[in-house]
Amino acid sequence: MQAIRPAAVAGMFYPANPRKLEDSINYMLKENKIDLNPEKIFACIVPHAGYMYSGKTAAYAYNLLVGRKYKTVIIISPSHREYFQGISIFNGDAYETPLGTVPVNKEFREKLVESSKVIFEGREGHKQEHAIEVQLPFIQMVLKDFSIVPMVIGDQRRNYLFELAEQLSKVADEDTIIISSSDLSHFYSKVVADHLDSVVERHITYFDFESLQNDLELSKCEACGGGGIVVALKTASIMNITKSKVLHRSDSGDTTGDDSEVVGYLSAVLYN
């Protein structure tokens, strides 16, 4: 019997019907493109809200992966529902979405776990977490023949983040891509959100993971998956990936028309 993590937010964050889900993603990909074609894409930063709110912004990043080949997709998620120390990699066999199951790369998982005291195999953070799950249908639509390393960061203190980046830099290769799943500020007015979110955008643009981590700790900006962004930037830096570009930034008010309390979204790419 395989241990499969079933879809937990299908029908809430994205369509549960496979045909409707495919149509929705195809439409978003068709309508949200950017004129950029990097030689090598190392990581993408993408939002994880419901598709009606952040799918457009996510599509800008996923469009860059169409036609590319990766054997392993590392998905880094925050833990919205439970606190735990360290980084939990799903200890089962696969994740499931309405578009089918996606296998976990067990060899990659074992390499990360055996070389670290803070990365472990488990179910912590995976049971109801949406930040990994909402990425999978997009990935299933743009990539073929891949496995995943689904990891949830239970504590986003810098010692955990920098340890994860060091370990990822040892095992990632040209057939690996990192997907860092994060929204930005939550429930501020559009004006305040724009100020806070522009800080995150600036640090990504300048590849400055140290300043991003500092500002997150000092509440000069907000990102629920900010730790995953820091990990992607630091891992890329260690591996001499030198370029970054913010592809799109938006907020929930763009969809609802209510600018009094918005959630911010951003997509970006790290590349050579």
Domains of the chain: residue spans and CATH: 4-271 (3.40.830.10)
CA nearest neighbour of 198 among 218, 223, 230 = 223
CA distance 185 to 264: 5
- Which of 186, 230, 152 lies closest to 53 in space, CA to CA? 186
CA distances from residue 24 to 9, 44, 99, 185, 235 in whole angstroms, order as listed: 16, 21, 13, 26, 32
pTM to 2 decimal places? 0.97
Which of left, alpha, beta for 253 (phi over 0: left; psi -120 to 50: alpha)? alpha
d(CA 234, CA 165): 6
pLDDT tens-place values along the chain, 272 residues long: 789 999 999 999 999 999 999 999 999 999 999 999 999 999 999 999 999 999 999 999 999 999 999 999 999 999 999 999 999 999 999 999 999 999 999 999 999 999 899 999 999 999 999 999 999 999 999 999 999 999 999 999 999 999 999 999 999 999 999 999 999 999 999 999 999 999 999 999 999 999 999 999 999 999 999 999 999 999 999 999 989 999 999 999 999 999 999 999 999 999 99
pLDDT at position 93 is: 98
